[in-house]
Structure 1
Amino acid sequence: MPVREIAGAKVWRRRTTGEAMLRWVGWLIGVAIFVWCWQQISASTTWFFVWDAPRIAGDIIDRATPPRWSYMEKLWWPIWDTINIATLGTLIALVLAVPVAFLAARNTTPSTWIIRPVALFIIVASRSINSLIWALLLIAIIGPGVFAGILAIAIRSVGFCAKLLYEAIEEIDETQVEAITATGASRWQVMVYGIVPQIMPAFAGISVFRWDINIRESTVLGLVGAGGIGLQLSGSLNTLAWPQVSLILLVILLAVVISEWVSAKVRGAII
C-alpha cells in the first residue's frame, strides 16, 4: 500500500496518485458514455406519452376492474394447455439433455476434441435463443398450435438442463468411479452404478426448477400463436377487453404461484 509523507508524518493511502487518476478518468469516461446514451434515448422518445402514462395506466385499471369472472369458463382449457406445454416440453428436454450432458462433461465424453465441442455448441445454441423466438420459427415450419409451443419449450430447455447436469457430472466423487472400475465393470456399468446415483439429486432438482421456469414461459407463448392461455390474452388485448385481460392475468399469477409452491416443496423434499 502506498505511503505519503505529510509534515514529516507518514500517511497510508489506499492508492497511488497514478491509480487514483486512472480511477477518476474511468469514472469520467463512464459518465460521458451514460450522458451520450441518455441523449440517444431521449432523442428517440416521445416524452409526451411518457408524462401521460400515469393517466393512461389509471384509465386502463379502471376499465379492467372488476375482472369478468364469467369469462373463467373459457380459461380452464387454455390454462390446462399451458400446464401441458410446460410439462411435456420439460420431459422432452430432459430426455435430450441427459445424453448431451454426458457428452459435454470432461470425465464422461468419448472425445474432448470433437464430441465435447459439438455438445457444448448444442447447449449454447439452445440457451442463446429465447423460447418466443423458437416458437415463431416452429410456427413458421409446422404451423400454430400447442405442439409448436411444446417443441419451443423443449428446445429452449435442453441447453439449460444439459449445462447444469454436465457441471454436476464433472463434480462427482471420482473415488467411487475408480472403485467400481477396479472391480472390472464395463463403461456402462461404471456409468450406471458410479455416476448416475451421484447426480440423481441434482437431476431431480434441475427437472423441477426448469419445469417451474417453463410454466412462466409457456404462459406467453400464445402471444405468438403457440397455444395456451397466452392465446386468450392476445385475443383479449387485441379487442381491448380489459376485464378479460385482468382475469387472465390473475389466472396466470395464480398458476405461477402454485407452480412455485410445488417446485419449492419438491426441491425441499429432494434436498
Structure 2
Amino acid sequence: MPVLEKNGLKVWQRRTQGESLMRWAAWLTGTAVFVYCWQQISESTTWFFVWDAPRIAEDIWSRATPPRWEYITQLGRPIWDTLNIATLGTLIALCLAVPVAFLAARNTTPSATFIRPIALLIIVSTRSINSLIWALLLIAVIGPGVLAGVVAIAIRSIGFCAKLIYEAIEEIDHTQVEAITATGASRWQVMAYGIVPQIAPAFAGVAVFRWDINIRESTVLGLVGAGGIGLQLSSSLNVLAWPQVSLILLVILAAVVLSEWVSAKVREAII
C-alpha cells in the first residue's frame, strides 16, 4: 500500500494517484460501452411488445392451463427417443473422447509437437459449436430424424469429455507410473495399470455429468428436426396447441429432474 509524505507525516493511501486514475478510466470506459450497447439494443427493440408482454404471458398461461393430460399417451415414444439420443450420443462421445484425451495429455501423447496440437484442435472445434448447429448441419447431410440427433450430441460431447479426461490424466500421481515402468512394463501396460485406474473415477464422473447435460440438450434438438420430444413440442407450438405445450414442458421437466436424480446418485456412489 502506498505511503505518502504530508507535512512531515506519513499518510496511508489505498492506491496511488495513477492507479486511481486508471480505475476511473476503466469504469468510465465500461460505462460508455454499456450505454452504447444499450442504445443499439433499444433502437432494434419494439418496446410496445415489451410493455405488452405481461398481458400476452397471462393470455398464454390461461390457454395452456390445464394441460391436456390425455395427450400424454402420444409422448411415450418421443421421450424414449430423447433418452436414447442422449445415452447413445454420450456413449459414442466417450469412445472417441478417450483416445483424443490420451493424445492431448502432455504425459501420454506420442508427440507434443505434432499429435497433441491436432488433438487439442479436435477438442476445441467440437466444443465451440452448439449441438443445435451440429444438428442443423447433420440434418442437411443425413436427413432429419433420431440419427442426426445422436451424432450431433456425440460430436458436441467429444470436446467436453476429452478436455476433462486429459486434464485428469495430466494430474495423476506419477509415482505409481514410475513404479510400474520400473518393472519393465510396456507402454500399454503402464497405461492399463498405472494411468487408467487413477482416472477411472474422473472418467465415470465426466460420463454421468455429460449424460445429464445431454438429456437437457436432446430435448430441444427436435425443434430443428433431429427427433425426440422436441419434435412434438415444435409441432404443438406451430398449431398453437398450448395445453399440449404445457404438458410437453412438464414431461421434459420430469425427465430432467429424473436424470438429475440418477446422476446425483451415481456420482455419490462413485465418490
TM superposition score normalised by structure 2: 0.98
Please give the alpha-carbon distance, in whole angstroms, between the structure 2 residues aligned to 1:80 and 1:159.
26
Percent of pairs identical after alignment?
82
Query: 1:106-147 CA distances to partner (integer Å, 9 max, x unpaired)?
Result: 000000011000000000010000000000000000000000
Segments of 4+ moved more than 6 angstroms: none
Task: Give per-residue Cα distances to partners, 1:10-41, cap 9 Å, x unaligned.
Answer: 32111011111111111111111111111111
Question: Partner of 1:172: helix, strand, or coil?
Answer: coil
- The alpha carbon displacement at 1:9 in A equals 3.8
State the AA in 2 paired with 1:194. Answer: G
Show the counterpart of 1:267.
Answer: 267
Matched with 1:148 is 148
- Which residue number in structure 2 is paired with residue 162 of structure 1? 162
Q: Is the counterpart of residue 23 in structure 1 residue 23 in structure 2?
A: yes
Determine the C-alpha separation between the residues in 2 that align with 1:86 and 1:108: 30
Alpha-carbon separation, structure 2, partners of 1:7 and 1:252? 71
- Counterpart Cα distance in 1 of 2:186 and 2:5: 71
Instruction: Provide the C-alpha distance between the structure 1 equivalents of 2:232 and 2:169, rounded to a whole number of angstroms.
Output: 42
1:153-210 CA distance string (max 9 Å, x none): 0000000000000000000111101111111111111110111000000000000000
Q: Which residue of 2 aligns with 1:122?
A: 122
Match of 2:10 in 1: 10
The residue that corresponds to 2:91 in the other structure is: 91
Counterpart amino acid of residue 22 in structure 1: M
Counterpart CA distance in 2 for 1:22 and 1:143 is: 55
- State how far apart, in whole Å, the 1-side matches of 2:218 and 2:252 are: 10
Q: State the match for 1:239 in structure 2.
A: 239
User: How far is the alpha carbon of 1:5 from its aligned partner?
Assistant: 4.2
Residue 240 of structure 1 aligns to a residue in which SS? Answer: coil
| TM-superposition CA deviations, 1:214-258 (whole Å, max 9, x none) | 000000000000000000000000000000000000000010000
Counterpart amino acid of residue 26 in structure 1: A
Q: Look up the match of 1:136.
A: 136
List runs of 5+ in structure 2 lacking aligned partners: none
- Alignment partners' CA distance in 1, 2:187 and 2:22: 56
Deviation per CA, 1:51-110, whole angstroms, max 9, x where unpaired?
000000010000000000000000011000000000000000000001000000000000
**Secondary structure of the residue that 2:195 maps to in structure 1?**
helix
* Matches of 2:24 and 2:103, distance apart in 1: 48
Q: Secondary structure at the match of 1:109?
A: coil
Read off the aligned partner of 2:97 and give its amino acid letter. Answer: A
For residues 22 and 109 of structure 2, the distance between their equivalents in structure 1, rounded to whole angstroms, comes to 46
Alpha-carbon separation, structure 2, partners of 1:164 and 1:22: 38
Matched position secondary structure for 2:185? coil
Aligned-partner Cα distance in 2 for 1:184–1:152: 43
For the aligned residues, what is the CA RMSD?
A: 0.8
Residues matched between the structures, number: 271
What is the identity, as a one-letter code, of the residue corresponding to 2:62? Answer: D
Alignment of 1:1-271 (within 5 A): 1-6=1-6, 9-271=9-271
AA of the residue aligned to 2:39:
Q
